[in-house]
Structures are given as C-alpha cells and as structure tokens.
A and B are shown apart, each in its own frame.
Chain A
Amino acid sequence: MQQREEKQLESSVESLISHVAHLKNALHSFIYKLENEYERLTWPSVLDNFALLSGQLNTINKLLRNEKTPSFRQQVIIPLLLSPDRDEDLAKLTEQRVPVFSHEIVPDHLRTKPDPEVEEQEKQLSAEAARIGPEVAQKQIQTLNKLCSNLLEKLNNPREDRDLEIAALRLTKQSFNSADTNALVAAVGFGKGLSKCRPPGTVAPGHPGQGPIMSGGPTLQQVTIGLGSGAPQQQGQPGKMPSNIKTNIKAASSMHPYNR
C-alpha cells in the first residue's frame, strides 16, 4: 500500500518536473525573443507566446488538481544536512542559482507560508475587512456588482450604441449626395456636363452616350422576338425560359462592339 503511494508520488513529481521544464523553456525563449529580436517581433507572435505560456500553466494546474496526483501539500520536507560550504552538485542541479545549502537560505527555499511582508499585508486586509460592518460591506458589494453589470452591458451591446451614434451623425450631416453621384458617373461615362469639342450640329449620330441605348435597344428586341417564336417548343419547361433570355442578352451585348 505504502509502496504504491510512493510510486505514485514519484511519478507525479517527475511529470510535474517535466512540465515545469517545458514552461521554463518557453519562458526562456520568449524572454530571449523580447530581449534580442524585439525589432522584428510582431504583435501576433507575442500573443502566440502568451497563449503558449498560459496553456502550459493550465496543464500544470490540471495536473495538480488531478485525482491521481497525491496532495503535495501533505508532504513534509525536512532538511537533513545543512552546510555553509559550496556544493557543486547542487549548483549544477539548480543552474548556478543555489550554490550553497546553508542556514541562511533554507528557510526561504523550504518556506510553506507566504513571505513575512505578504503575511503582514494579508493581516492588514483582514483587519480592515473585520472593521467595516456587514451592512457597509453589503453596500459596497452591491455598488461593485452594479458597476460590473453596467460595464458588461456596455461591452455586450456596442452595436446598439454605435448604430445610435451613426443615426445621430446621419441626422446632423449628410456625407454624400446621390444626385452628385449620378452627375459624376454620367460625366466620366460619356462626358455629360463637360464641354464638347465637336460642332454641336453633329450631335445625333456622334453622341457617344447613345451607343449603349442604340446597341441595347435592338438586341433586346431581337431577343424578345426570337423568344416569341421559340416559345411554343419550350412549353414543356417554362422554368428554363428566363435563363435563356439572360444569356442571350449577355452574349448579344458583349459581342456587339466587336462584330462590326
């Protein structure tokens, strides 16, 4: 029974170590990038790095919460040997971070409670929390909740606000004029409103703008006539007629400019 627990503990410590090593590598490479490649670093790749780190932290959290992982909190670590001399093995194991296992540093490294300063702050906070009465606390909670829900509402309905803004903008100021659009399109299309260079007498045949109408008119007519004669044969499938018309018009009008 005890052996099995020991085995479990060992294996979970091992996997914890490997996960922490992964996390350390990711942090290491990210810091390296930030320090050495910040000129080329793009925002998306920074975000990718953050996502990687948060993913790894999540995995570690999951591992710790796993049922099969024994509770590390209940394990007791006792320093068996303290020495003021430099320990090369230890230094190597900790990447030169802890060269000596002495009386000075052991309390810091094997600490199971928060730092004294943090403990002090926590004490202050709980004293303050105890000082205000439950009614005041309730009031503060309500205020905070109200603020949060207001903020959430704002974040969730940006569309409505924006639409309102746009509507207000539209009321105060028109940014375009469709009559102007038509005038400008007609001007670039066939020179409407621009001074003509040719003598005014020759307008009728030479008007460039009449091209579309002249070509559009007859072809459309031809299509309808052609359709009229063709219709009796197609009575079986009336649904197909519209598509025929469409392709005919397209073919006729696009061919027209060239087949003279």
Chain B
Amino acid sequence: MEAPPVSVMPVTGGTINMMEYLLQGSVLDQALESLLHRLRGLCDNMEPEIFADHELVYLLKGQQGNPFLLRARRSLSHPAAPWHLRYLGQPEVGDKSRHALVRNCVDVAASHSLPDFLNEMGFRMDHEFVAKGHIFRRGALKVVVSKLSRVLVPGNTENTEPLSLSSLVELSVLAPAGQDTVSEDMRSFAEQLKPLVHLEKIDPKRHM
C-alpha cells in the first residue's frame, strides 16, 4: 500500500482511506443484561471494557456551504487519558449490495487543550452528551453498547438525564476503502444477536 500515514493526510481535498462500516440498533434497559450476556459469549474471551465518555461536537461554519463537524471525546473514568478527536464523513447508505453504512473516518488522539485549540480555530461547540456502557471485540469487529444521557447544564457531566429507556448498540469495523467483505462478517454477526437486537444500516438523514 502506498497510502501515506494518517498523520500527514490532508483532511481537505485528499482521500482518506480508512472507512468505518457501521450497523446500529438499540436495546431496552430491561433486556440489556441478556444482550451483555450474549455478547460475552460471542465475543473474544476477555472482560468487556466499561467506559464513561463525554462527547462534544464542534462545528466550523464557513462563508458558504456545509458546516464542518468534529467530535471530541474525553473519558470521564480516566481523566488523565488523552482526548479523542474524530472526523466522520458523509454516510453512504445507497448501495444495496453492502450490508452496512460506510463513511470516512479519521481518529486522532489529542492533548487536553483540544477544546481551546478548536475554539481558537473558529470551531464552536454545537452539542454534547455523555455515553456510558460496554465495549466488546470480536476480531476486527467492535460492539459498543452505550447509554446516552443529555447534559442538563452545559459542561457539567455530573448533572445528566438519560435520553431514552434504551441503550444504543453499534457494531463497527474500521477497514480500508473497498473492503466490502467485512460487511458480510458484520451481517452474520448481527444475525446472531437477533431477536434481542436488530442491527441495521440506518440512514441518519431519514430521522432528522
């Protein structure tokens, strides 16, 4: 592969070759334990990781055209850990032969001054939420089961309120562009979680 390393890839005008393949679903709180139990059985033999994250979504408005979106995440349980900055591209959902939603994805670790830096660059925070839950792995597949909460007072992650009576379930794989075989693996894994959870490729535009 002659693709340059991620760190030197230009974010604008270039092609970023890592794609995120994604399937989404949700599980009601009363069925959460059975889902976690099943995932423990299906996934790699390790203790599932528990996480509590605070995600801030930043927006850069240009003179014209679409705003530019960046997601900054920090761990609430490990305050010393680096921040995580993520860019997600436009989702592609149209291709019927692909079983998962596909979008560009760039992940970068960042220092704790990330919010100030983004502010200086002209980004403004658009919204924030707190996600708490479990991460499972099976080979390259990643399953995140998380409970989303809205932040009632901006910036105060102690004071939150659950968004719904369900947890979000996301099955994702990072792969170079064009590796559509991974979506087959994802589909067969998703089959094994039925009927507890139906993981589907959901076009976010439909639910705006």
Contacts and interface: CB of A to CB of B under 8 A. Distances in A.
Taking chain A's interface residues, is the majority helix, strand, or loop, or is none over half, making it mixed?
helix
A183 B62 CA distance: 28
Nearest to B194: A166
A174 B90 contact: no
A198 B128 CA distance: 11
Contact of B204 (A185, A250, A260): A185
A99 interface: no
A260 to B, nearest CB: 5
Contacts, number: 164
A211 B66 contact: yes
Contact of B166 (A170, A176, A198, A256): A176
A212 to B, nearest CB: 5
Interface stretch (A1-9, A57-65, A128-136, A201-209): A201-209
Interface in A159-192: 166, 169-170, 173-178, 180-192
B52 interface: no
Interface residues of A, number: 49
B183 interface: no
B89 A193 contact: no
Interface string A249-260: 110011011111
B46 interface: no
A166 B164 contact: no
Nearest to B64: A260
B150 interface: yes
A175 B33 CA distance: 11
Interface string B194-208: 011110101011111
25 contacts: A180-B165, A181-B24, A181-B26, A184-B24, A185-B168, A185-B207, A186-B204, A187-B163, A188-B129, A192-B207, A194-B128, A195-B127, A196-B126, A198-B59, A208-B59, A211-B69, A212-B205, A215-B90, A250-B92, A254-B92, A254-B104, A256-B90, A257-B104, A259-B13, A260-B12
What are the 7 closest A-B residue pairs judged by CB atoms, nearest first? Answer: A175-B31, A191-B127, A189-B204, A180-B166, A181-B26, A211-B66, A184-B168
Interface of B: 11-14, 24-28, 30-31, 34-35, 57, 59, 61-62, 65-69, 89-92, 94-95, 104, 124-129, 131, 148, 150-152, 154, 163-168, 195-198, 200, 202, 204-208
